[in-house]
Amino acid sequence: MSETERTTNKLPIVAVLITGTFIAILNQTLLTTALPPIMEDLNITPGLAQWLTTIFMLVNGIMIPVTAFLIEKFTTRKLFMTAMSLFTAGTLICALSFSFPVLIVGRIVQAAGAGIMMPLMQTVLLLIFPKEKRGSAMGMVGLVIAFAPAIGPTLSGWIVDRYPWEVLFYLLLPFAVIDVIVAYFILKNVTEQTSPKLDVASIILSSLGFGGILYGFSSAGVSGWSSADVLIGFAVGGITLVWFIWRQLHLEEPILEFRVFQYPMFTLATVIGMVVFMAMIGAATIVPIYMQDMRHFTAMESGMMLFPGAVMMGLMSPITGRIFDKIGARTLSITGLTAIFITTLLLTHLSETTPFAYLSVVYAVRMIGMGMVLMPVTTAGLNQLPRHLIPHGTAMNNTMRQMSGSIGTAVLITIMTQRALADPAGPGSETAMIHGVNVAFMAAAVLAGIGLVLSFFIKQNHRGSLGDRRKKQTKSRLVFHEE
């Protein structure tokens, strides 16, 4: 056990970090059902309104790769307070916004802070907890990640039905301010400062590379794969990303260390996480579209359908964290991905009369599977890295997930819309649109199947239980004393 693990008072640090991350994730999910009233109030088209979520994802994707550098450059306290202050300032701008451009600026400032928080929280938790307790710690993270989306859409639907949409941002503001104040008094530094040099060229290449590719995939769902925006985004993103990777491999102090992929278990865990995230985020986008546009449920009813699944995923995360600490990720991943695969197949036969209860139960079981896979696989991969590579591992893991979430959403929405347009029942009809949803879930099932196959390659946990190791150590000490 390291000095940091032994001497740090963990509870206040964990509480502050998890609260900040919860507020950031809740902010993102609150906006989903608020877009229609924002469009009406600001007199903007759906294409423009989409940028309120797309720009947030883009800035997140640009900030996350830089986080590893920031964690090594600044103290935990200073970095978290800066990130949370940026998020708070962005939230205030959004609440006071009187036009679409001002609202976009607020979202950019919010995302600049939010993009730092998730990798920072994961890095700190991995540093302050020993390996045998990291599963439980990351399980708490899973609880937060799931609970925010659980209450977000339902709460948002209830608020925008009764109050102006600005209330959503005013609701978050006091919690964000309180978290900054508490962090000032109780957060302490747990990361090691190596004072790396800032390579400006790498920051620019990273922003253009990850930003370009994310922009391309985000635009594809709206504009189509052959549109100029998408092709330019891919071209600029692809070229600069290759250049960025080449530069990182030749720098003495890279801002993002791609050598983490030299650890096979980390690489496998990252790929499985990406595949599962593609299936999860894509489906989470498609289900509300099916519920509201094709079945004419209200935004709040749609949120209520998703609610049990998100709660179940949240409740499963601490449990699977403890199980992971004892048996590792392999069994959990195989079981979870089997559940994801089967339930995704069950969502490929939706119709105009599919019962609300069926949707809710199948989605809930699917999310239980997600809870059994995401955090255990992530923790198993990061556990393979030496301490000095953990900030780079968390930044890389979050970057890849951000990319895969964008890709999964774009691909599944494109499949859905293209199949709906090509359906013999008539383009734009509800039957055709539902058929498009079913085909999209077939694609999601293929992704889940790939993840299931890959999960069999995760190494079984050969550590033995912690109790067994301690018994052996005690026995060897007794033998020594007897001699």
Question: What pLDDT does 307 receive?
Answer: 81
Least confident stretch, 125-139, 169-183, 263-277: 125-139
Shared-domain flag, residues 288 and 223:
no
Q: Are 150 and 310 in contact (CB under 8 A)?
A: yes
Q: Do residues 96 and 206 both lie within one domain?
A: no
Domain final residue, candidates 171, 193, 215: 193
pLDDT at site 8: 55
pLDDT of res. 479: 39
Residues 96 and 374: their CA atoms lie apart, in Å, by 37
Q: What percent of the chain has pLDDT over 70?
A: 90
Looking at residue 466, what is its pLDDT?
42
Under 8 Å between Cβ of 170 and 350: no
> Is 291 in the same domain as 434?
yes
Residue 223 shares a structural domain with residue 331? no
pLDDT in tens, 282-336: 777 788 778 877 888 877 787 788 888 878 887 887 888 888 888 888 999 999 9
So what's the pLDDT on residue 391? 83
Residues 335 and 389 in one domain: yes
Domain that holds residue 232: 197-254
Do 360 and 296 share a structural domain? yes
Domain count, the chain: 3
Q: Are 255 and 202 in contact (CB under 8 A)?
A: yes
Same domain, 151 and 206: no
Domain boundary among 144, 164, 193: 193
- Whichever domain contains 289, its CATH number is 1.20.1250.20
My answer on whether 24 and 101 are in the same domain is yes
Burial of 304 (0-12, 13-18, 19+ CB in 10 A): middle
Q: Contact, 354 vs 235, CB < 8 A?
A: no
Residues 218 and 136 in one domain: no
Task: Give the domain-ending residue among 175, 193, 211.
Answer: 193
Say whether pLDDT at 81 is over 50.
yes
**How far apart (Å, rounded) are the C-alpha atoms in residues 8 and 189?**
9
Whole-number Å distance between alpha carbons of 124 and 122: 6
- Give the pLDDT confidence of 324-382 residue by residue, as tens digits: 888 888 999 999 999 999 999 999 999 889 999 999 999 999 989 988 888 888 888 88
Which span out of 124-133, 152-161, 206-215, 329-338 was modeled with the highest average pLDDT?
A: 329-338
Best mean pLDDT range from 124-128, 199-203, 214-218, 286-290 = 199-203
Read off the tokens for 406: 């964008």
Q: How far apart are CA 410 and CA 427, in angstroms?
A: 20
Q: Which amino acid is at 25?
A: I
Q: Are residues 311 and 460 in the same domain?
A: yes
What CA–CA distance (Å, rounded) separates 277 from 290?
A: 20
**pLDDT bracket for residue 118 (50, 70, 90):** confident
In the block, tokens 């509201």 appear at 292
Please indicate, yes or no, whether residues 242 and 278 belong to a single structural domain of this protein. Answer: no
What amino acid occupies position 59?
V
Neighbours of 2 (CB within 10 A): 11
Confidence bin at 480 (pLDDT 50/70/90): very low
Task: Read off the tokens for 152.
Answer: 């977000």
> What is the rounded average pLDDT for all residues in the chain?
82
d(CA 210, CA 203): 11
* Better-scored residue on pLDDT, 74 or 35: 74
Query: How much of the chain, in percent, has pLDDT values that exceed 90?
Result: 26
Residue range 458-463: mean pLDDT, rounded: 66
Same domain, 188 and 325: no
DSSP state of 458: S
Predicted confidence band of residue 472 (pLDDT cuts 50, 70, 90): very low
